[in-house]
Structure 1
Amino acid sequence: MNYRHSFHAGNSADVVKHSLLIALVRSLQQKPGALTLIDTHAGCGLYDLGGEEAGRTGEAMQGVLRAFSDPNPLLNDYRAAVQAVNAGAEPRLYPGSPQILAQLLRPQDVLILNEKHPEDARALRKVMRGTSAAVHERDAYELWLAMVPPRTARGVVVVDPPYEQPDERARVTASLAAAHRKWAHGVTVIWYPLKDRAMHQRWKGQLRRLGIPKFLCIEHWLYDADQPGIYNGAGLYIVNQPYAFTQALPALLEALRATLAPEGHRGEITTDWLGD
């Protein structure tokens, strides 16, 4: 499945991913100690919702534009992050995870970005100019293992692959196992698209067998029944999520489900613990 982000910027998956990422980082920032934020598949950093690629799919109509038309205050932080890169009331640009993470930085925090695709890496450096972010152009999985544990005591690794290669899930699984051995208390967020439940149940079983404690799986299914061969939603694996984040999660997930449910469908956001 090709998930080059420029085609899908601002879709429902982005709304869920970025809403939860903001809530996660903010919950960690309740303690004053420095955080290192690492994005292994950073992309371009900023996307034109009116551009050819995003316009070809039109997915922002069912994502960020729905979030902007919903007054639910639980989405205020997400809307503010998008509004920060826009001049008008309606978003024309969409911030990727690098931009959103940069907005969350405190003076003591560190941001490390990586994008292997040369064209996207050049765009990312341009977008992040003027921030404190370090931008790398390396293999994402090599960088992930090289950067953990970070110099700060705490940190978050965000892993958001395009899932273009058939072995992508196997590389994620192997890298997560190796990273956890090096940095057992580190927070990790792994994004993935959903196509059919059976395939993802098999992958969840493989991840469960890693024996990682505090391992949460969140899945957002757009439709009330699987739609074969098309994008059905997206999920996040989160390792070592803080207590404050977990406590606030049910209300935020319900707000996201209600906002993003396609016409004629209720949609579903499920949580599942893969470890103790």
Structure 2
Amino acid sequence: MNYRHSFHAGNSADVVKHSLLIALVRALQLKDSALTLIDTHAGCGLYDLHGDAAQRTGESAQGVLRALADPNPLLDDYRAAVQAVNVGAEPHLYPGSPRILVQLLRPQDALIVNEKHPEDAYALRGAMRGTGAAVHERDAYEFWLAMLPPRTPRGVVVVDPPYEQTDERARITATLAAAHRKWSHGVTVIWYPLKDRATHVRWKEQLRRLGIPKFLNVEHWLYDADQPGIYNGAGLFIVNPPYAFTQALPSMLEALRAALAPEGHQGEIAAEWLGG
């Protein structure tokens, strides 16, 4: 599955991913010690919702626009992050994970982002200019391991690939195993699209067999039954989520399900522990 960020900016997967990423970092920031935030597949950083790529799919109408119109206060932090890069009520721009994360930084925190695709890396440097973030243009999996352990006491690694390569899941599995050996107490967030259920079930079992003690899985299925051959939703694997995050998670997930359920569907979003 090819999931280039620019074609899907602001869709339902972005709403879930960025809402939970904000909540996760905020929970970690309940402690004063510094955080290093690392984004391995950063994309362009900022996306034009009126541009050709986004308009070709029109997915933001069922994602960010629904979230902005929803009154649930649990989505306020997400809405504020989107509004921070826009002027006026209607969003023209959508912040990717790097522009979301830079908004969350405290003075003691640091942000390091990476994008291998040359054109996207060029756009990323422009989007991050003046933010203080360090921008790299390297192989994402080599970069992931090279950054560990971070210089600060704590950190978060965000892994958000386009799933263009057939071995993407295998590379994630192998790199996560190596990363956990280097940095067992670190927080890692891995995003993935849900299209073929059987492929995903096999991958989940492979990740479960890594034996990572504190390993949470969040899945958002848009439709009440699988829609063969199309995008059905997305999920996150989260290693070492903080307690404050997991305690607040059920109500946040219900708010996201209600805001994003397609017409005629209830949808489903749930979390389970793969380990611990």
TM-score (norm 2): 0.99
Superposed displacement of residue 196, structure 1: 2.3
Moved over 6 A (4+): none
Q: Deviations over 1:162-201 (max 9, x none)?
A: 0010000000000000000000000000000001222111
Equivalences for residues 22-33 of structure 1 within 5 A: 22-33=22-33
Mapping of residues 183-262 of structure 1, within 5 Å: 183-262=183-262
1:69 matched to 2:69? The reply is yes
Counting matched residue pairs gives 276
- Letter aligned with residue 5 of structure 2: H
SS of the residue corresponding to residue 275 of structure 2 reads coil
SS across alignment from 1:274: strand
Q: Deviations over 1:76-101 (max 9, x none)?
A: 00000000000011111000000000
**Equivalent position SS for 1:245:** helix
Question: Following superposition of structure 1 onto structure 2, how do residues 117-132 of structure 1 map, counting pairs within 5 Å?
Answer: 117-132=117-132
Hey, what does 2:17 align to over in structure 1? Answer: 17
Q: Which residues of 2 match residues 69-218 of structure 1 at below 5 A?
A: 69-218=69-218
Q: For residues 96-140 of structure 1, give each alpha carbon's deviation from its aligned partner in whole angstroms, at most 9, with x where no partner exists.
A: 000000000001001000000111111111111111100000000
In the aligned structure 2, how far is the partner of 1:35 from the partner of 1:52? 36
| Alpha-carbon distance in 1 for matches of 2:110, 2:252 | 27
Structure 2 residue identity aligned to 1:244 = A
Q: 2:164, 2:115 → 1: CA distance?
A: 15
Unpaired runs of at least 5, structure 2: none
Offset of residue 272 of structure 1: 1.5
Q: Which runs of 5+ in 1 are unaligned?
A: none
* Letter of the structure 1 residue corresponding to residue 81 of structure 2: A
Instruction: Note the C-alpha offset of 1:48.
Output: 0.4
- CA shift at 1:46, angstroms? 0.3
Q: Deviations over 1:59-90 (max 9, x none)?
A: 00000000011010000000000000000111
Matched-pair identity in % = 84
State the distance in 2 between where 1:77 and 1:180 align.
30
Amino acid at match of 2:45: G
Work out whether 1:42 is the aligned partner of 2:38: no
Per the alignment, in what secondary structure is the counterpart of residue 37 of structure 1?
A: strand
Determine the C-alpha separation between the residues in 2 that align with 1:148 and 1:167.
23
TM-score (normalizing by structure 1): 0.99
Q: Tell me which amino acid in the other structure corresponds to 1:272.
A: E
Q: Per the alignment, in what secondary structure is the counterpart of residue 88 of structure 1?
A: coil
Distance apart, 1:6 and its partner CA? 0.4
CA separation in 1, counterparts of 2:270 and 2:34?
A: 31
